[in-house]
Amino acid sequence: MFRIFAMAALALIAAQPAIAADLTVTDAYARSGNPNTGAAFMTVVNAGDTPDRLVEARSDVARKTELHTHVISDGIARMRPVDAIEIPAGGEARLERGGDHVMFIGLHEPLPPGATFPVELVFESGRSLTVELTVEGPGGGMGHGGAATE
């Protein structure tokens, strides 16, 4: 009985957005296309009057965790690391497939669908959020929750 209650409570928590002052993270999830790399996608909303920048992501699931984007060069999409992702005042940044995202390089273990793990997002303002990511299987995507805590 306790196990069922604990699982239900965890599911409820995972469905809540992450909030740090004026920053909110929603729709956070992860994917892994192979045993060595994975990526995280989410929406970061800034309800404040001051822009902010996502400057770092931290996680223990991989050797390196980086902020990335896709760049089209000679008609080919290539992933490239970026120093920061802008979060405009009163706006949002969508970290999504084919655009900005968090990249996990050198996974310590494969990320099977349904697994969960935390990633810490660090902002230029000094704020940080810890987001609980759920690994989506093929065809999974935005709209599946993802919790964060300050």
The number of angstroms, rounded, from the C-alpha of 150 to the middle of its chain's C-alpha atoms is 14
Closest residue by Cα to residue 110 from 54, 49, 34, 44: 34
The answer to whether the CB of 109 falls within 8 A of the CB of 95 is: no
What is the rounded distance in angstroms from the CA atom of residue 91 to the CA atom of residue 19? Answer: 15
CB atoms within 10 A of CB 24: 17
Give the pLDDT of residue 137: 84
Q: How far is it, in rounded angstroms, from Cα 35 to Cα 37?
A: 6
C-alpha atoms less than 13 angstroms from C-alpha of 113 in its C-beta half-sphere = 8
Q: Specify whether the CB–CB gap between 124 and 93 falls below 8 A.
A: no
Q: What is the DSSP letter of 17?
A: P
State the average pLDDT for the chain: 85
Q: Which amino acid is at 35?
A: P
* Res 17: pLDDT: 54
pTM here is 0.80
CA distance 139 to 69: 21
Q: Which two tokens stand for residue 133?
A: 């990511």
Which pLDDT tens digit goes with each residue over 99-134?
999 999 999 999 999 999 999 999 999 999 999 999
Q: Which residue has the higher pLDDT, 98 or 139?
A: 98
Q: Where are the domains of the chain?
A: 2-149
CATH topology classification for 2-149: Immunoglobulin-like (2.60.40)
